[in-house]
Amino acid sequence: MSGRSWDTYGDWDQIASSGDARDIMEKITGHPVERWQSNQMTEEAVSKISNIVIEDRMKYGHKLAAVDFGCGFGRNSELVKRFYPILYGVDIPEMIQQFTELNPVGALKNYNALYTDFEKLASSREFHCLYDSVVFQHIKDNDFVTKSAQTMHETASMGCVISLVCGPLGKTALITNLENLGWRIYHTSVDHASFYGYEHNLFILRRGDSAT
């Protein structure tokens, strides 16, 4: 499973390998680097995630953990840490190397550990949520997406996926795969709070047997 076949937005190994922090950041957001800012969430989405966090704290205690899948340069780490104090980042090796070396906005400190392989992360850490900000929609390797969804499903502690999808694409293959495994869409909304106001779709998925 490689996960290294991408749509026409760009080849992430080449983008990261440029070693130019400004270029990489502009490709990550699609906006001038001067506008670099974390995604935001509507009050409704905050309330939905807060309910999930309350439920999961009752099950797992207060130190909940999340995976920032395709973390890039850590743009959303502070946002995710508001809900999940332990944060693991995963990205392709080229991006993790650049993030570690350049750390242009100092977000490295927000991660408890960084990984280049989600499967390895999943087999060695406990986590409760996976955050996907415009990552899986770019991955065109269906086997990789199917395998990743299967691993999420098999990770018993994980009951929540937050997925932000750019444009009118709607459900991605990740979301469809999770639904096929019995997960359900707990919340969806058209999102103008993230990515500088441009229209995205926000999906929050829950494992089928969860209460919220």
Which residues are at the interface with ligand SAM (CB under 6 A)? 3, 12, 16, 28, 70, 72, 75-76, 90-92, 95, 133-135, 138-139
CB of 7 to ligand SAM, least distance (A): 10
CA distance 145 to 173: 7
CB of 135 to ligand SAM, least distance (A): 4
Q: Within 13 Å, how many C-alpha atoms sit on residue 157's CB side?
A: 19
Is-contact 134 148, C-beta < 8 A?
no
Smaller CB distance to ligand SAM: residue 14 or 57? 14
Q: Outline where DSSP puts E strands in the chain.
A: 65-69, 86-90, 113-115, 129-133, 160-166, 184-191, 200-206
CB of 65 to ligand SAM, least distance (A): 17
Smaller CB distance to ligand SAM: residue 51 or 125? 125
CB of 76 to ligand SAM, least distance (A): 5
Smaller CB distance to ligand SAM: residue 136 or 183? 136
Smaller CB distance to ligand SAM: residue 27 or 212? 27
Is-contact 74 111, C-beta < 8 A?
yes
How crowded is residue 91: how many other Cβ atoms within 10 Å of its Cβ? Answer: 24
Smaller CB distance to ligand SAM: residue 66 or 90? 90
CB of 40 to ligand SAM, least distance (A): 12
CA distance 54 to 49: 9
Distance between the two ends of the chain, CA-based, in angstroms?
A: 33
